[in-house]
Amino acid sequence: MIRESELLEKYPAEVSVPASLVAAKVAAANRVLIVLDDDPTGTQSVAGLPVLTRWDVEDFDWVFGYRIDGTVAKAVYVLTNTRSLDPAEARVRNREIVVNALTAAGKAGITVGFTSRSDSTLRGHFPLEPETIAGTLLTESSTTVDGVVIVPAFPDAGRITIGGVHYTRGVEGTLIPVAETEFAKDASFGFANSSLAAYVEEKSDGRIPASSVITIDLGLIRRGTPKAGAAAVADAIDGASDSTPIVVDAVTENDLRVLALGLEEAEHRGKTLIYRVGPPFVRARIGQEIREPLATAEIFHAGRTVAAGTARGGLIVVGSHVGVTTRQLKVLTDAHASASIVEIDVEKLLSDDGAAHVSEVVATIVAALANRDVIIHTSRLLIKTDDAAASLKIARTVSAAVVEVVNRTLKATPPRFVIAKGGITSSDVAAHGLEIRHAIVRGPMLPGIVSLWEPVDGPAEGIPYIVFAGNVGDDQSLADVTRKLSNTF
């Protein structure tokens, strides 16, 4: 058993850093961070930032013209949904986004940087995605990337990195190496190493040896003052060249802020960096304060564009199959006695009667929304295969059905709100079920996790959309979020 307190005894205490210090450095750099988010849950740590679910040049034109407090946003999220794609498709999509962002930025006279946001439990297309970004920058702008900074830590959700090893928090102060969790057994993105340097070697099939990875540990970050820590980080990066992987320890928001100062210093010295990160990195990197969870009165405010749909009931869509989601679903269904519970039967979807089953589900939901919330979930019996491509195909079939159900429901009876549980589920519901093209992240629903988007166009314009990752929160979290939004719970 590994105890967090015992590991941290080897390192200095965290160094307090005001977000405003980072924000001032970022403002001076005059750069916009393009965040390629492989599912929508990367937005759960930020507020007041735009999101794109399309990435044509005109979409970047829109976002570079959008003003928050009179200025262009310091970061823009682009919903790639690449975790649901095969490697070849993910490569093409990453390249398209970088090319179009560079084109629009050139027209607008804006300098951009790039972040590949992925899972805090290490699932996703790595090293493919950062390598694609680096390769595209080289071919399109003759820019050579010196380092790929890898920061999967997500302290709000219990994912931290100490001594170059990535952990998830367990019970009573214990830590579990991430390779020993259910997430490491993912059919498409499984892995065997909790040491980030060894993970890099594993995922690159030995092409990038662990010995070539630079590690920035807590001893460097916690040097006594923000300036000292930032200088130590920048010094450690000085030797990076040709996309050297740089793995980083982080346990607190202050650690991430010191890192942000160090990265800013490294870039000021002339280093070109791209990032592979978990959700809170962007918040710290741009110097954004931690936003308090949204209250019901803030969500449904008469003076704002966020407003309930026409139906009295809201829609809660649950697609994730990880253990915490299944437990959260049970708590919600047990507690929310007035809700209508509708199951999408995966075995029926995969049979010849799939279309008829979808129509039956839509009719049931539309009737129920008139006076109650509706909880839609896929059957909890997970149909698995050892073949990664076949696993993705099943996931796509299920996701397509969920999208059709949501879209047809929206057109018939716009719900009061929509919650989507699960990364791929929330991506597909946003882009296709609700036809959101542009949205603004308003803030978290719970401390540091679960984001609310305000769609600014399309048929779901103004309806609160809640992006809820499959692997975050405690057993009560889904019920807690639903209570904030529902007028029938």
pLDDT in tens, 323-356: 888 899 999 999 999 999 999 888 888 887 888 9
Q: Rounded to whole angstroms, how far apart are CA atoms 381 and 397?
A: 15
Residues 330 and 244 placed together within one structural domain of the fold: no
pLDDT band with cut points at 50, 70 and 90 for residue 311: confident
Classify residue 399: in a domain, yes or no.
Answer: yes
Classify residue 404: in a domain, yes or no.
Answer: yes
pLDDT at 388 over 90: no
Classify residue 159: in a domain, yes or no.
Answer: yes
**What CATH number is associated with residue 300?**
3.40.980.20
Classify residue 449: in a domain, yes or no.
Answer: yes
The pLDDT assigned to 354 comes to 84
Tokens of 428: 């597909």
What are the two backbone dihedrals, phi and then psi, of residue 8, each rounded to the nearest 5 degrees? -75, -15
Residues 354 and 332 placed together within one structural domain of the fold: yes
Residues 257 and 402 placed together within one structural domain of the fold: no
Cβ-contact 385, 431 below 8 angstroms = no
What is the pLDDT averaged over residues 400-405?
91
Count the neighbouring beta carbons within 10 Å of the beta carbon of residue 48: 15
Residues 37 and 12 placed together within one structural domain of the fold: yes
Residues 9 and 114 placed together within one structural domain of the fold: yes
Q: Rounded to whole angstroms, how far apart are CA atoms 144 and 134?
A: 7
| End-of-domain residue from the set 252, 285, 318 | 285
What is the pLDDT averaged over residues 63-70?
87
Q: Rounded to whole angstroms, how far apart are CA atoms 175 and 161?
A: 10
> For the chain, how many structural domains are there in total?
2
- Burial level of 10, CB count in 10 A (0-12/13-18/19+)? exposed
Cβ-contact 226, 255 below 8 angstroms = no
The pLDDT assigned to 145 comes to 98
pLDDT tens-digit series, residues 32-45:
999 999 988 889 99
Residues 341 and 263 placed together within one structural domain of the fold: no
| End-of-domain residue from the set 285, 310, 345 | 285
Residues 273 and 300 placed together within one structural domain of the fold: no
Classify residue 290: in a domain, yes or no.
Answer: no
pLDDT at 305 over 50: no
What is the pLDDT averaged over residues 261-285?
97
| End-of-domain residue from the set 257, 285, 313 | 285
Name the residue range of residue 218's domain: 2-285
Residue 469, C-beta contacts closer than 8 angstroms, at least 6 positions apart: 39, 41, 44, 157, 320, 422, 423, 426, 449, 450
The pLDDT assigned to 163 comes to 97
pLDDT tens-digit series, residues 451-474:
999 999 899 998 999 999 888 899
Lowest mean pLDDT among 164-168, 226-230, 262-266, 301-305: 301-305
pLDDT band with cut points at 50, 70 and 90 for residue 304: very low
Computed over every residue of the chain, the mean pLDDT equals 93
pLDDT at 106 over 50: yes
The pLDDT assigned to 118 comes to 95
Residues 311 and 209 placed together within one structural domain of the fold: no
**What CATH number is associated with residue 197?**
3.40.50.10840
The angle at the Cα of 326, spanning 307 to 451, to the nearest 5 degrees, equals: 30
Tokens of 287: 């110097």
Q: How much of the chain exceeds pLDDT 70, in percent?
A: 96
pLDDT tens-digit series, residues 147-205:
999 999 999 999 999 999 999 999 999 999 999 999 999 988 999 999 999 999 999 99
Tokens of 392: 């993705």
DSSP 338: T
pLDDT at 23 over 80: yes
Residues 96 and 238 placed together within one structural domain of the fold: yes
User: Tokens 């990880």 — which residue?
Assistant: 322
Classify residue 215: in a domain, yes or no.
Answer: yes
Residues 84 and 214 placed together within one structural domain of the fold: yes
Residues 94 and 208 placed together within one structural domain of the fold: yes
Q: Rounded to whole angstroms, how far apart are CA atoms 174 and 167?
A: 10
Cβ-contact 324, 475 below 8 angstroms = yes
What is the pLDDT averaged over residues 356-362?
94
SS3 of residue 250 by DSSP: strand
Classify residue 291: in a domain, yes or no.
Answer: no
Strand partners, 76: 34
What are the two backbone dihedrals, phi and then psi, of residue 183, each rounded to the nearest 5 degrees? -65, -30
Residues 259 and 307 placed together within one structural domain of the fold: no
